[in-house]
């Protein structure tokens, strides 16, 4: 995959992740720590977490076709690496109460849910593109038959 394609994929994934992470932070905040207030710096955290979530695009994308088994293994490795990076940030951030086990579990489960939802959104996006391309190819084939 060329660098231009990887950057396009990274940007698309980044904005999907920002949206999903913002929703996750709202849900976790309401469930775990609803009386806490934040300053404007809280708006930056989804951007940072999404940037961390995009890192695997540059390291784990194959340049050739892979099997379904290889894809699943790659996705598991991607998720574990993102999970580790996020938890590393959580345990080193002074404003995240990482001493509370429910916070750590909530973040870990939330990262997994966001990862799965991001894959689902990407799949739907790519499926839509594939159907559109197949339609164009079918139309082209029918025009050249005549």
pLDDT of residue 111: 92
The per-residue pLDDT for range 6-57, each reduced to its tens digit, is: 888 888 889 999 999 999 988 888 888 777 777 777 788 888 889 988 888 7
Distance in angstroms (rounded) separating the CA atoms of residues 56 and 5: 14
Which residue did the predictor score with more confidence, 32 or 146? 32
pLDDT of residue 96: 80
DSSP string, 41-79: GGGTHHHHHHHHHHHHHHHS--SS---HHHHHHHHHHHH
| 85 and 56 Cβ atoms separated by less than 8 Å | no
Structure tokens at 74: 């790659």
pLDDT of residue 45: 85
The per-residue pLDDT for range 69-119, each reduced to its tens digit, is: 988 898 899 899 999 999 998 888 887 888 888 888 998 999 999 999 999
pLDDT of residue 146: 65
pLDDT of residue 143: 87
| 22 and 66 Cβ atoms separated by less than 8 Å | no
pLDDT of residue 66: 81
Total-model pTM: 0.78
| Domain spans in the chain, listed from the N-terminal domain onward | 3-116
pLDDT tops 60 at residue 1? no
């Amino acid at each position: 995959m060329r660098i231009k394609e990887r950057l396009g994929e990274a940007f698309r994934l980044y904005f999907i992740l920002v949206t999903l992470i913002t929703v996750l932070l709202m849900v976790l905040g309401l469930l775990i720590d609803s009386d806490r207030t934040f300053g404007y710096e809280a708006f930056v955290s989804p951007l940072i977490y999404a940037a961390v979530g995009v890192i695997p695009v540059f390291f784990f994308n194959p340049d050739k076709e892979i099997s379904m088994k290889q894809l699943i293994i790659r996705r598991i490795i991607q998720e574990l690496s993102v999970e580790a990076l996020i938890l590393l940030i959580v345990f080193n951030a002074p404003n995240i109460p990482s001493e509370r086990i429910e916070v750590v579990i909530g973040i870990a489960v939330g990262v997994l849910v966001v990862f799965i939802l991001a894959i689902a959104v990407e799949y739907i996006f790519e499926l839509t593109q594939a159907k559109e391309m197949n339609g164009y190819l079918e139309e082209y084939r029918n025009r050249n038959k005549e």
